[in-house]
C-alpha cells in the first residue's frame, strides 16, 4: 500500500488528542497493485495494520500503541509516534546516502526495461489452467461423467477477449455480451459468470471456482463449458480471465 501524505500547505495536529477526522481528510491509502484508493476509515480497505512508512527521504517505524490506520496519527515529525531510521548527527551515513537534492538514492535502475510476452507463454498458461480447472471440477462432482461443451467454450473464449477490451477502455458491454451469448441462451439455461485476475498462480483461481458451487448442478443432462483467456501486458504481467458455466438443455 502507498500513503498519500498531505502537501506542504496542510498540517496535522500531532498531539495525542488529535482528532482522527482531521487525519482522514488528508491521508489517502493507495493499493499500488490495483490502483484503488481508500480513506483511512474505509472498512473495505485491505490494509489493516501499518508497521512502517517510507519515502525517498527516510523510513519511519510506527511506535504508537495503535497500528490500525483509522486510529493512528500520521505526523511523521512527531517523535512519540514515529521513529525515523536515519537521523542527522547520530552517526548514520544519511548524508552519504542522499543525493544533491537531499533525497535518498533509489536502488531501482534509472531506466526500466519492459519485455514483450511471447504468445507461447500465455498459451501455456491457458492450456495448463484449463486442464487443472476441468480436473478439479470432475473431482468435486464425483457423480458420473462430466461433459464439457467445447462449442460453447469457444464462444466464451471470444467473449473474454471482448471483456478485456471493455476493461481497458472502460466502456459498456452488457448488450454486446448478451448478443454474443444469444446462440447459447436460445438453447440452454445458462448459469455462470466471468472472473478476472492479475495472474500469479493457479491455486487462488481454483479455490474461487470451488467457492462458486457451479459444479453442484445435478440436473440429469447438465453440461459445462469453460474458457480461459490470458491477455499479455509486459514482463510476465497478465490479465487472466476465466468463464465457467453450467448448461441445461431447454
Contacts of 208 (CB under 8 A, 6+ apart): 195
**3-state SS string for 118-173:** CHHHHHHHHHHHHHHHHHHHHHHHCCCCCCECHHHHHHHHHHHHHHHHHHHHCCCC
Q: 3-class SS at 42? A: coil
The pLDDT, as a whole number, for residue 101 is 67
Cβ-contact 223, 148 below 8 angstroms: yes
Q: Which residues pair with 223 in a beta bridge?
A: 247
Query: What is the reported pTM?
Result: 0.62
The pLDDT, as a whole number, for residue 248 is 95
Helices and strands: H and E segment counts in the chain: 7, 9
Residue numbers of the chain with a pLDDT score lower than 50: 6-25
Domains of the chain: 1-112 (no CATH), 119-249 (3.40.33)
DSSP structure string for 44-84: T-S-----EEE-SS-EEEE-SS--SGGG----TT-TTTEEE
List, for residues 99-131, the tens digit of each pLDDT value: 666 666 667 777 888 888 899 999 999 999 999
The pLDDT, as a whole number, for residue 95 is 59
Amino acid at each position: 500500500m502507498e500513503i498519500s501524505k498531505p502537501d506542504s500547505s496542510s498540517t496535522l495536529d500531532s498531539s495525542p488528542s488529535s482528532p482522527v477526522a482531521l487525519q482522514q481528510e488528508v491521508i489517502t491509502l493507495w493499493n499500488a497493485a490495483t490502483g484503488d484508493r481508500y480513506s483511512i476509515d474505509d472498512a473495505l480497505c485491505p490494509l489493516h495494520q501499518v508497521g512502517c512508512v517510507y519515502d525517498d527521504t527516510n523510513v519511519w517505524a510506527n511506535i504508537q500503541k495503535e497500528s490500525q490506520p483509522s486510529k493512528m496519527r500520521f505526523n511523521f515529525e512527531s517523535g512519540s509516534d514515529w521513529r525515523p531510521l536515519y537521523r542527522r548527527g547520530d552517526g548514520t551515513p544519511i548524508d552519504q546516502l542522499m543525493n544533491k537534492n537531499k533525497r535518498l538514492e533509489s536502488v531501482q535502475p534509472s531506466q526500466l526495461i519492459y519485455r514483450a510476452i511471447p504468445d507461447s507463454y500465455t498459451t501455456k498458461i491457458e492450456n495448463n489452467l484449463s486442464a487443472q480447472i476441468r480436473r478439479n471440477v470432475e473431482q468435486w462432482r464425483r457423480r458420473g461423467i462430466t461433459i464439457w461443451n467445447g462449442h460453447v467454450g469457444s464462444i466464451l473464449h471470444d467473449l473474454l477477449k471482448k471483456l478485456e477490451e471493455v476493461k481497458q477502455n472502460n466502456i459498456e458491454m452488457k448488450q454486446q455480451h448478451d448478443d454474443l451469448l444469444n446462440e447459447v441462451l436460445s438453447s440452454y439455461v445458462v448459469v455462470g459468470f466471468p472472473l478476472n485476475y492479475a495472474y500469479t498462480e493457479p491455486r487462488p483461481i481454483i479455490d474461487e471456482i470451488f467457492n462458486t458451487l457451479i459444479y453442484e448442478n445435478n440436473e440429469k443432462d447438465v453440461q459445462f463449458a469453460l474458457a480461459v483467456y490470458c491477455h499479455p501486458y509486459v514482463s510476465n504481467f497478465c490479465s487472466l480471465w476465466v468463464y465457467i458455466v453450467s448448461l441445461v438443455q431447454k
